[in-house]
Structure 1
């Protein structure tokens, strides 16, 4: 059963899908308002899918239940990784991709996107997906389960374009952690379009403009 979602279609019968995963403690409504700012009128019809992560206790927030793709167990975001939670959310993302395919949008026209913990999941699920995706959009995030990515990644997404934006003053996901993840993937041969911005753990207008340009290239590829 797929996760509940908030959806926005830019025109009837969309032929592309962008599955956008929110950050820790937010929900699918968090990025839905970005659609009017982001969309270029020249783009083909797109379905934006903003799923709600499951509610689970989060250790670093005193065990308070909130929407999260996985538990954060250590003060540093990448410490003591919740392997079981990450793998369960990878399965949830796989189900969302399958639902888009059932609705007539092939994986090759699906972009996986996410902010913070959602960006970590977009990377984790996208690189393991067995069919080629149109792109992976990573905002203020890092690569969890990095120890197993070389063995578990799918050849189908070895050349998939990856946009990665990060704030130079990010106090939640330090840019150094993002850079380490980027370098690890580049060492494995992945192509990453890296952008840094003078900001904290957020999204800026300059970043939205860069994302729009990158998505325009993806939609022109098909």
Structure 2
């Protein structure tokens, strides 16, 4: 069994059977699905159903996202599969990819970013708070597919102790190359957190997805 196979996917927001849009919220290292659902509640608009997968022992993969891919297996692949399961659950409820938002913080932002890069398609959006694509410097970024204008928000401090600014810049380039509509915002001296400007972006995106 993969590490995260038997972990739950929690739900919040509008009931799935009556939702018109969906969000997959991915928690960070040491956090929980319940905690990131609370962030969803802060930006909620009626019609948005949230699914939040839970990582085993609250950690998607053991090492830094800058470490070798192999050193973070099998957690990394299992985590990506868990995100896919959540997306599939939304689609099975009749919500199209164009109305599905992927959002994560820290390790969750890394996992959500890597999932979208590896599965490029037109989604409702990606919101990556303090994260980026996964792998050591020099990792080939030969991802296939097209985001076809998917909104991509990448927000991070210029002095984040966990997320090098160079990786944030690289992540923005990855999604630009995949035809994403990238909005990169670097915040001076913010630290490793989420600020009001970032939440305002997420709130506006949620509102737009349920009103389309």
- Matched residues, number: 202
Q: Which runs of 4+ in 1 moved over 6 A?
A: none
TM-score, with structure 2 as normaliser: 0.82
Give, in whole Å, the separation in 2 of the partners of 1:185 and 1:106: 21
Indicate the larger mover: 114-123 or 11-20.
11-20
Deviations for 1:33-73, whole angstroms, at most 9, x for unmatched residues? Answer: 2234212xxx45011112101x2xxxxxxxxxx32222216
Q: Which residue of 2 aligns with 1:35?
A: 40
- Superposition RMSD in Å: 2.5
Q: 1:119: how far off?
A: 0.7
Cα 1:131–1:3, aligned 2, differ >3 Å: closer, same or farther?
Answer: farther
Q: Which residue of 1 aligns with 2:105?
A: 115
Q: Which runs of 5+ in 2 are unaligned?
A: none
Q: Which residue of 2 aligns with 1:49?
A: 51
SS state at 2:123 partner: coil
8 A Cα contact 2:121 2:148, kept in partner: no
Question: Which one of 8, 14, 18 corresponds to residue 10 of structure 1?
Answer: 14
Matches for 1:115-194 after TM superposition, within 5 Å: 115-129=105-119, 131-145=121-135, 147-150=139-142, 152-155=143-146, 157-187=147-177, 189-194=179-184
Q: Which residue of 2 aligns with 1:61?
A: none
TM-score, with structure 1 as normaliser: 0.79
Q: Which residue of 2 aligns with 1:68?
A: 59
Cα 1:132–1:210, aligned 2, differ >3 Å: closer, same or farther?
Answer: closer
Give, in whole Å, the separation in 1 of the partners of 2:199 and 2:102: 16
Q: Which residue of 2 aligns with 1:215?
A: 206
Give, in whole Å, the separation in 2 of the partners of 1:207 and 1:26: 19
Q: Larger relative CO (CA 8 A, sep 6+): 1 or 2?
A: 2
Q: Which runs of 5+ in 1 are unaligned?
A: 56-65
Question: Which one of 19, 26, 39 corresponds to residue 21 of structure 1?
Answer: 26
8 A Cα contact 1:3 1:96, kept in partner: no
